[in-house]
Amino acid sequence: MTKINFGTEINRRNSGSLKWDDADLLYSAKDVLPLWVADTDFPPPAAVLEALQARVAHGVFGYPSPRFLGFEALSEWLKQRHGWETKPEWMVNSPGVCTALAVAVQTLTNPGDKVIIQPPVYPPFFSSVLQNGRTVLENPLIAENGHYRMDFEDLARKASDAKMLILCSPHNPVGRVWGAAELKKLAEIAVTHNLIILSDEIHGDLVYSGHRHIPLASLNPEIESLTLTCVAPSKTFNTAGLYTSAVVIPDKGLRQKFYEAISTLSITKSTVFGSVAMEAAYKHGGPWLDELLPFLAANAAYLAERFSKETPKIEIALPEGTFLAWLDCRELGLGDQALADFFGKEARVGLNNGATFGAQGSGFMRLNFGCTRATLKEAVDRIVGAYRARGF
């Protein structure tokens, strides 16, 4: 196997990149090093690039057939990588997971219905509920020495009053990969209360040694019939800009409702390049991913070691999955805006403000370590310099 060099620097400035080209504006500072929005700085697998280049070389980009979405390759990937037997006909295309979240909330719940989320959590979980006129019902995660767990007692109390739960698995931003016992308990509560589960599993392939991603719907037929699972090649293979994802919906009734809603909005179609990339990634991307994961794990360990030694008031628990680090900065004693300004304006490193992930994220920051080691080193050097300048 050819060793892949994830250390190659690719200049993403002036490429129309949200992450890189909007950073200075967003953080009101010059030369900000962006480690915020969750895309990585790596090219996708060579097979994906070759498939896209071949499609460009063909030269004609007419309307793509809905029969060529890459769902067969995705189904085989889910079977081989996660032990989940699916059928391509269970899958519905969506431009992205955020679109799927909004459509599912709008379609499968009614105005005023309560939807459970588990903060601190990905901000669109809040907006997909609130912007559709539904009510957020929080089931906050419990943090113990930097390790988060679900509060099942609270969840069981609230489930009887809710219509849907949006699950983040693996969890963004805290980096948990939920274990079998946890997921079985969640499934038991959902089945008891007939709670629809919208499971965002976009980071499901990004799991580190010692942990295993278990698709919730794979546990048993009862939870399978209640679950819509959102997946995409975007995080795993860095193809977010191609706007292609899939929602796996085994239950025919739920699938029909979702498909009709997304059809009404005329967003069922993929792009020519999105479907080509999806198929190539899931058919041929396994060896590339197998090399990426230890690289990312080493980046996480590097972060943890340097923060522990050089910025002890910034604590980090090693994530079990994702390429996102959840930084506990509460010992710095700064308010949320002051904390964001410390990183963005003083350290000139663009991170996500933890407060946007819910009240439970106050005093935290999220850092994307899906970058080269040189970029990560420069970011930590800047943070350490600003930390020392402040005299923390």
Predicted confidence (pLDDT) per residue in 103-158, tens digit: 999 999 999 999 999 999 999 999 999 999 999 999 999 999 889 999 999 999 99
Following DSSP, what letter does each residue of 146-168 receive, concatenated?
TEEE--HHHHHHHHTT-SEEEEE
Least confident of 55-69, 293-307, 378-392: 55-69
Is the domain 60-284 a CATH 3.30.1490.20 member? Answer: no
Predicted confidence (pLDDT) per residue in 150-197, tens digit: 999 999 999 999 999 999 999 999 999 999 999 999 999 999 999 999
Torsional sign, CA 206, 328, 307, 12: positive
State if pTM tops 0.75. yes
Residue type at 7 in one-letter notation: G
Predicted confidence (pLDDT) per residue in 267-300, tens digit: 888 899 999 999 999 999 999 999 999 999 999 9
Q: CA–CA separation, 231 vs 245, rounded Å?
A: 6
Q: CA–CA separation, 114 vs 135, rounded Å?
A: 5
> Domain spanning 18-45+287-386 has what CATH number?
3.90.1150.10
Range 43-47 average pLDDT? 97
Q: In the prediction, which pLDDT does 66 show?
A: 81
User: Hey, is 306 helix, strand or coil?
Assistant: helix
Q: Is residue 1 pLDDT above 60, yes or no?
A: no
Predicted confidence (pLDDT) per residue in 199-239, tens digit: 999 999 999 999 999 999 999 999 999 999 999 999 999 99
What separation in angstroms does the CA of 115 have from each of 104, 108, 217, 336? 11, 11, 19, 27
User: Where are the chain's structural domains?
Assistant: 18-45+287-386, 60-284
- For 330-364, letters b (16+ CB in 10 Å) and e give eebebebeebbbbbbebbbbbbbbbbebbebbbbb
Confidence of residue 4 (pLDDT cuts 50, 70, 90): confident
